[in-house]
Structure 1
Amino acid sequence: MTLLRKGPWWLGLAVIFMGAVCFYASTELAATAQYAAIGPGLFVAAIGLGLMGLGVLLLIQIARGEVFEPDEAENAAPGQPMDKRAFFTALLAAIVPALTIETLGLPATAMLSFMLVARAFGSKRLVADLIAGLVLGGISWFVFGWLGLQLGGFFPLAGV
């Protein structure tokens, strides 16, 4: 019973759960497309299956008693507690697109997410991060439009 308490079992189960959510979401997407042999659903299903497989492998490593310590190349202090502020800032950056993309559009949503991720990694340059996110999001919006994929308006609130 001590083995069950010792390892981070929740982590393996969380990876399997994320994979299952992706796989379930893939059922709503087309697996094939009219203009191509494969569609977006195939990629989401493959990612979901891959995550579930990785979660199982992680549980196997935990059951074997593998110790998870950072490598020297990771530049992490092994005994230091998790930076909860940085974690929740990055989590918010992952949630922002689901909440804002239809209202704000891709460029503004990318701007906010980029700024939040940069802040989670320790950046203090708020304006520079916002500009970088807006430029990357704008370029992405134009490139996808050029490829024929419609991502909604550039800035729907302004009618653009």
Structure 2
Amino acid sequence: MSGAEQARRPEPRRRPWWLGLALAVMGALWLNGARGIASTTNYIGLGPAAIVLAVGLGLTILGVLLMLQALRGEFGTVDDEAEAPPSRRAFLFALAGVAVPLLTMQSLGFPVTAMLAFALVTHGFGSRRTILDLAIGFVLGSAAWFGFSGLGISLGGFLPLIG
């Protein structure tokens, strides 16, 4: 094969199947975590584990579908050169933001956990305003905690480190 033929030949496209696998594993972790949540029901007939189960099932299904798309070559192709390929670093920041609640909810409380998760995910999406992101995450987490507490749904202590 001559050098001109090699130059015209397109490079093989990378297939980031690992993104789908990571998403499916994350969903499995959520499903496993839902087993430890009390299944008592409220006035609407759903317990606190229902949302966690729904999110875990959704993440697992989407992860498997994403993995299949990547293996078939339908995902991860860059057709427009202006479009950037998937960033592992950004994905890992977003993944850390989703994993933080699994590790810190009981020890730090809901608002602080939400603050950390929000800041990590926004950093993964390109935000570099860490202090503002932390503040927004704390406000959103506090509002969610007070909202759920008002409905009689316990998300644990507001700030367990203090009390």
Q: Which amino acid aligns with 2:111?
A: P
Instruction: Give TM-score, length-normalised by structure 1.
Output: 0.65
Q: Identify if the C-alpha distance between structure 1 residues 49 and 142 changes in structure 2 by more than 3 Å, giving closer, same or farther.
A: closer
Q: Identify if the C-alpha distance between structure 1 residues 65 and 103 changes in structure 2 by more than 3 Å, giving closer, same or farther.
A: closer
Alignment of 1:1-160 (within 5 A): 33=41, 35-41=43-49, 45=53, 54=62, 57=65, 61=69, 66=74, 68-69=76-77, 76-78=83-85, 82-84=87-89, 86-159=90-163
The structure with the greater share of residues assigned to helix is 1
Unmatched runs of 5 consecutive residues or more in structure 1: 1-5
Displacement, 1:133?
0.8
Displacement, 1:48?
5.2
Structure 1 segments of 4+ aligned residues over 4 angstroms from their partners = 6-32, 40-65
CA deviation string 1:124-150 (max 9, x = no partner): 212111111111111111101111111
Contact 2:18-2:67 within 8 A present in 1 as well: no
Contact 1:32-1:42 within 8 A present in 2 as well: no
Match of 1:36, SS? coil
Match of 2:161, SS? helix
Instruction: Give TM-score, length-normalised by structure 2.
Output: 0.64
Displacement, 1:102?
0.8
| Higher RCO (CA 8 Å, separation ≥ 6 residues) | 2
CA RMSD, Structure 1 to Structure 2 (Å): 3.4
- Indicate the percent of aligned positions where both proteins have the same amino acid: 50
Aligned residues: 149
Displacement, 1:66?
3.6
Displacement, 1:122?
2.0
Match of 2:41, SS? coil
